[in-house]
């Protein structure tokens, strides 16, 4: 069944190699099943903004201006969020209707959704950018509040379906969660499973980049409070 409209947090044009090859437009949709403690886009779930609902054609109208940039640079649209796969029926309708544009469609997802949602988009997506958060189940749960098994099984399923070449695994170094080389160890574990493309990068404090809500701060404190207490103990 088609979703009538996509609730949008933001559409950001002219991003260059930030979210995929070439010039891309990032389409951030509302809603997320996770509550990552250092979420970079908390406005997608903290209810501080209502989001704007766009139909398939309205979304196309908003992004078509960059058609020439997309085509000349092998760029296109990157669906992010929030969790874009919460709106997989809409994405499927959009990509089905506009696949003839020859734009590339990328997906940035944490895969913490039902299998059906993932199946909806697999035939249309060029590059899957997967936010892995953590390979370790306990740390994954502590950091995201979500179910590790859903993510992990979807990830392995995706690899079976599209192969590792079309999957970029984002491996964050998470302050106050990862100790020593844990992020690199995460990468090594994924490598053992046959994944080949990685982006190991540090998370930063989202508040250093833009104002965040009290709700997002509370969510962040779940990670920071014990870490700060531990630091204070060590110092005294």
Per-residue mark of binding to ligand SF4, 119-158 (x: CB under 6 A): ------------x---------------------------
In the list 14, 53, 156, 193, the residue contacting another protein (rule: CB under 8 A) is 14
Spatial contact of 140 and 148, defined as CB atoms under 8 Å apart: yes
DSSP string spanning 126-183? SEEEEE---SSHHHHHHHHSS-HHHHHHHHHHHHHHH-GGGEEEEEEE-TTT--TTHH
Q: Is 212 in the site for ligand SF4 (CB under 6 A)?
A: no
Question: Which listed range, 75-83, 85-93, 135-143, 157-165, lies at the site for another protein (CB under 8 A)?
Answer: 75-83
Q: Tell me which DSSP letter residue 85 carries.
A: G
Tell me which H or E stretch contains 26.
strand 23-29
Stretch of 28-36, 49-57, 174-182, 197-205 lying at the interface with ligand SF4 (CB under 6 A): 28-36
Rg for the chain (alpha carbons), in Å? Answer: 18
Could you give the CA distance from residue 57 to residue 112 in angstroms, rounded to a whole number?
28
Is 89 a binding residue for another protein by CB under 8 A? The answer is no
110 binds, among ligand SF4, another protein, none (CB under 5 to 8 A by kind): ligand SF4
Question: Does 117 interact with ligand SF4 (rule: CB under 6 A)?
Answer: no
Q: Which residues pair with 80 in a beta bridge?
A: 28
Rounded Cα distance between 213 and 219, Å, is 10
Tokens 């995460």 belong to which residue? Answer: 186
Which residues of the chain form contacts with ligand SF4 (CB under 6 A)?
Answer: 32, 34-36, 39-41, 44, 81-83, 110, 131
Which residues of the chain form contacts with another protein (CB under 8 A)?
Answer: 9-10, 12-19, 21-23, 26, 28, 40-41, 43, 57, 60, 64-69, 71-75, 78, 80-81, 97-98, 100-102, 108, 129, 131, 170, 173-176, 199-205, 208-210
């Amino acid at each position: 069944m088609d979703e009538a409209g996509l609730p949008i947090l933001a559409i950001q044009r002219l991003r260059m190699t930030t979210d995929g090859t070439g010039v891309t437009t990032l389409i951030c949709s509302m809603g997320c099943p996770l509550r990552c403690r250092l979420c970079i886009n908390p406005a997608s779930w903290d209810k501080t903004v209502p989001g704007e609902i766009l139909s398939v054609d309205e979304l196309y109208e908003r992004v078509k201006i960059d058609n020439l940039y997309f085509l000349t640079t092998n760029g296109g649209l990157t669906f992010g969020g929030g969790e874009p796969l919460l709106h997989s029926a809409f994405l499927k309708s959009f990509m089905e209707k506009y696949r003839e544009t020859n734009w590339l469609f990328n997906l940035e997802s944490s895969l913490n959704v039902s299998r059906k949602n993932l199946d909806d988009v697999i035939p249309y997506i060029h590059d899957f950018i997967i936010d892995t958060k953590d390979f370790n189940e306990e740390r994954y749960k502590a950091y995201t509040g979500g179910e590790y098994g859903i993510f992990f099984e979807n990830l392995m399923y995706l690899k079976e379906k599209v192969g590792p070449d079309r999957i970029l695994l984002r491996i964050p170094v998470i302050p106050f969660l990862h100790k020593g080389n844990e992020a690199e160890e995460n990468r090594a574990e994924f490598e053992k499973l046959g994944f080949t493309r990685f982006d190991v990068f540090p998370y930063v404090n989202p508040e250093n980049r833009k104002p965040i809500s009290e709700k997002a701060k509370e969510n962040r404190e779940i990670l920071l409070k014990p870490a700060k207490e531990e630091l204070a103990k060590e110092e005294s």
